[in-house]
Structure 1
Amino acid sequence: MTGFNTRAIHAGQEPDRVTGAVVPPLYLTTTFRQDVPGEPLGGFEYSRCANPTRSALEANLASLEGGTHAYSFASGMAAEDAFLRATLKPGDHIVLGNDAYAGTYRVIDNILVPWGVSHSCIDFTDLAHVAEVISATKPRVVRIETPTNPMMTIVDVAGVSAIAHQHGALVLVDNTFATPALQRPFELGADAIVHSTTKYLGGHSDVIGGAVVVNNDELAEKVAQIQNWLGAVSSPFDAYLTLRGIKTLGLRMGRHSSNAQTLAEALERHPAISRVLYPGLASHPLHDVARRQMSAFGGMLSLQLASGSAAARALQTRTELFILAPSLGGVESLIEYPSAMTHQSVGGTVLEVPDNLVRLSVGIENIEDLLADITQALDSLSNR
């Protein structure tokens, strides 16, 4: 099985051998019978340690990302926390982007720093500066997010990975926005990939989850220990829902991308907008890098309103199809105001989000309807 869509549907999901069921059973059990003490049947003894439904999802994720092992967690933050616990110790340093996801920064700054881990937040688009910082700080982990949330910055994964590896650092890539349907971080030099599977992988705004994918046996063993010992695992039902969502990932990402591209090109011309942030636009400063490492540009875009924060806030209440809500990546379109919602916690830091910025998660509705909705909302701002 080499094709992406084929693997999305079949990897880790053999028909049930007992009944022939095409969809593998949902194993809603906490414990498993043993014939001989200490010898689990099929390797399953207790669902915190392993569960057949979760194992199917993990096999699927490893296949899609091209990794050797994958681990499914109860949330994206639980997944990232497990990776950081598995790789960092007091005295270590981590380098991350100066527009990284607010939740990740909050964990590093408020939990890991008091534990003795230091960090640098830098502009990953300046590779010369990246080399200087990594050379000076000797980080254990370099965390890349591309495209970034919500500034839609593109990071040259291959370029940063080469620098990081010269100094013995592990490279972690948050591939949530792009998904393996559009971007393959292992092929660009990454050592590990993290996902909020809540977003595009689940795809229907009905299940929370996260994942870590690795391509190194030693690193895999460390992440597996943290997953098992601390137990922030996805439930069987959550794993089942995520697997069901993944089956259409390739198709959905194509539609998300085409809808977002059309919206971005149209909105660049709207007088209420000073800037559209979308890597598929030729005006994006890192469009060429995005073209090199992505097969399409995804469903996320951000707008900066020409009239400032008041207009950005007002826009949130003027749309009809775009629902005002946090999160992203579902089939329905969402709109949010990051500085007061998802990124409020980084106000006053180097990661602070502009107060005239609006983030759109572009769904898979008819593009004519989405364009009409956001256009009427923007037009209404001049009639206030």
Structure 2
Amino acid sequence: MQLTYNNNQKRVIILYGGDIGLQVVRELGKKGIKSIVIYQSDDEFAIHSKYVMESHRIENFLDKKQIRNILMKNKKKWNKLLIIPCNDESVDALSYYKKQLTKFYILPVADYKYIQKLLNKKLTYSIATKAGIPVPKTFYCNSVYEIKKVRSKITFPSLVKPYERHHFAAIFKTKLFEVNSFDELLEKWISCRKHGIKAMITEKVPGDDTHLQLCKFYVDRTGKLTGTFQMQKLRQSPPLYGVGRVMKTIHNTITKKLTQKILKQMPGFVGVAQTEFKYDSRDDKYKLIEINCRNTLFVKLECKFGFNIAFAMYQDFVENKEIQMPEYPDNFYWIHLHKDLFTIFSKGRKTEQYSFWQYIQPYLNRKVFAIESWSDLKPTLVYWISKVVAISKWLWKKLVGKSRGVALCES
């Protein structure tokens, strides 16, 4: 899709038009900034937003060269536009080609040496350990022999986690593997190696999704920390090892200080990042789980109180304005409606074992919904139509499977 536009129109380039990209596009659109979206698949619903003036498709975000090539192809038309990455793949590509791309574009991302430390969990945990920040007990093994050497130190259930999540998720369609025996551990670890994925073995920190807390921050182009925004996960999709589907705002001085300690280990870092900690009741400590170096799912909640990272990037890097993020209240909820309802009414509910009150409480309080928007209705409609079709197909398969099972039993 391509529309005509005038040279006075404020524009940015958005890399990835999924749930995150859609929220970013809308929040920038409210500020009078239109978006050019580069996307990979039809389920990136940001391309349907009224705030999008162009959209361009690539085959695979995992291929850094494809991202670079489309940007270089349009360097004259898009000259000096701000590029905002909304997935790990695009952050990786922009930082990797930063020296080349900054000749033609404005990139609010840190240098590759910093991005690698945040995308690669082994390097992330190394930074945390040097800073005295607790992490889950972790084993880095390069062979089955090395795994067998530490067998007595591994407790179950354990987790097999990739060093870099975006490569792993593209193959296995999940964030990690939970394993309940040594044989299963070896099977999953070997499967990772067969696909060229480096994986580590970590302990499972006990506790449900409510033990997870996030701290997002933005460091401006001068290296100044402009503010933090903290949230507590209440429910994930899928439970325990998925992405957040219900969140609420909080303030926690402990995780904020831990986040600041990490920042001190990266004195040249600029841009956005978000730490995730899990509270471990066994030793009363918060353990670092991961760090994201991009906008995350909860954009609409942050923007509700003016903590608009994408707009801050525009003011910071394009307009050269000083950035200071505002304060926000506690106990304001963010809900991904489709993911929450689908999980509640599927087998995910058995994993969580929450009460009816726990499920309903966020809906009775102050809240925002991730996807739904009356002011930008088309993406909402396209999104929900696609989900209704997908759920109908899923139900049909279950019904057909049951009927076939009955027929086989009766035959």
TM-score (norm 2): 0.31
Q: Which has the higher strand share?
A: 2
TM-score (norm 1): 0.32
- Greater relative CO, 1 or 2 (CA 8 Å, sep 6+): 1
